[in-house]
Amino acid sequence: MVIEKFTNFLINNAREYGTSDIHILPNKENYGIYFRLNGRMEQQYSVSIEEGSRIISYFKYLANLDVGERRRPQSGSLSYECAKNEFQDLRLSTIANFQGRESLVIRLLEIKTEMILEKSTLLPQELKIMKKFIDYKSGLILFSGPVNSGKTTTMYELVRNRMKHSKMQVISIEDPVEIKEDKFLQIQVNEKAGNTYENSLKASLRHHPDVIIVGEIRDEETARMAIRGALTGHLIIASIHAKNAEGVIARMNELGISLEMLQQTILAIVFQKLLPIYCELCEEDCQIYCTHHSIHNKRAALYDVLTSEEFQKINRESVKEFKIERPRSFNQLLRKVLVYGFISEKTYYQYYIP
């Protein structure tokens, strides 16, 4: 096997299928190569231990990682030339098992994507609410959801839609930049160079943009700067990890932001997940090789939007006990799309939030 040719085939094959991640994992007798397709890992190829090790070493070499180091986890990135003048941004992560055999996960970052949110949304009402808040001049909109749930795509598309009607300056701060957008001033976080989320956000506020997109609120300093930006007349759109919409409040409290301060700044909290679509032909989740739904439409987003109006009614006790009753919470909306036949019963129980 010619490693260079196979890796090129592998990356182009993954792009063709709309794969988010390639997993190269050691088994007892060989290496399995898996694509993460529509949220599920599916094995595509199997290669020998020797070939798998050579593939991993080749990618490490391309990303300027230490090829000789196989015990210590490593991470890196590169711009891979798939074809003449056509590049794919990749993020690499290696970890060795107890036998010293390395595994490699390759994240394929989106070069540029534009989509119609209405066509990728299960229930349009929440999308209408989000579009209303994105037109505000100032305030804070927080997005949450699992990894690879489409948060960045949703944030970008909402801002793009607003830019169709008015000229704006938009700054995005990300680690790394996942979607390349020429209309935005995109800043990539580089902590080794001192370019942290906090410092980048502080500098961005001095630049007086209309909208700032923050890839992730990770620490107290970034959380405080996001609040400050919202209070000083900027529209801040950021993501933060939490179990559900209510969990975002608790997470911000943990980062030192009081409920009262959130009530002054929050426009909306959006929690989202990408759900596999039920297919009448497959009689289950639409399979990767089924043509009933196109390759990029086998999953759709379900949004739970906690609005500022609902937020004002929340008190400290309800946040502590996670007892915030809402008519359109995520689980209730999940039940609705099940009744409508958009998802399977299996998917309902998999994505239900206990």
Q: pLDDT tens digits, residue range 56-95?
A: 999 999 999 999 998 899 999 899 998 888 899 999 999 9
- What is the side-by-side order of every strand in the sheet holding 74-83? 40-48, 30-37, 21-26, 102-108, 86-96, 74-83
The stretch 243-248 carries a mean pLDDT of 91
Residue 220 pLDDT > 70, yes or no?
Answer: yes
Percent of the residues in the chain that have a pLDDT greater than 90, as a whole number: 69
CA pair distance 209, 159, nearest whole angstrom: 13
The pLDDT value given to residue 22? 96
SS3 348: helix
For 44-58, how does the pLDDT look when each residue is reduced to its tens digit (9 = 90+)? Answer: 999 999 999 999 999
Percent of the residues in the chain that have a pLDDT greater than 70, as a whole number: 96
Angle between helices 151-163 and 124-134 (to 10 degrees): 60
The pLDDT value given to residue 187? 94
CA atoms within 13 A on the CB side of 125: 9
CA pair distance 114, 333, nearest whole angstrom: 26
Residue with tokens 């094959």: 13
Query: What Å distances lie between residue 94 and 4, 25, 57, 268, 311, CA to CA?
Result: 19, 10, 10, 37, 42
Which pLDDT band, with edges at 50, 70 and 90, does 324 fall under? Answer: low
CA-based angle 305:303:109, to the nearest 5?
120
The pLDDT value given to residue 169? 95
Token pair, residue 163, equals 């830019």
List b or e across 9-46, with b for residues whose CB sees 16 or more CB atoms inside 10 angstroms. ebbeebeebbbbbbbbbbeeebbbbbbbbbbeeeebbe
Query: What Å distances lie between residue 307 and 44, 125, 238, 314, CA to CA?
Result: 43, 13, 15, 11
Which pLDDT band, with edges at 50, 70 and 90, does 314 fall under? Answer: confident
Which pLDDT band, with edges at 50, 70 and 90, does 179 fall under? Answer: confident
Residue 303 pLDDT > 90, yes or no?
Answer: yes
Q: Which among 270, 194, 206 is positioned nearest to 232, based on CA atoms?
A: 206
CB atoms within 10 A of CB 176: 14
The pLDDT value given to residue 317? 65
* Strand 278-279, strand 284-285: pairing: antiparallel
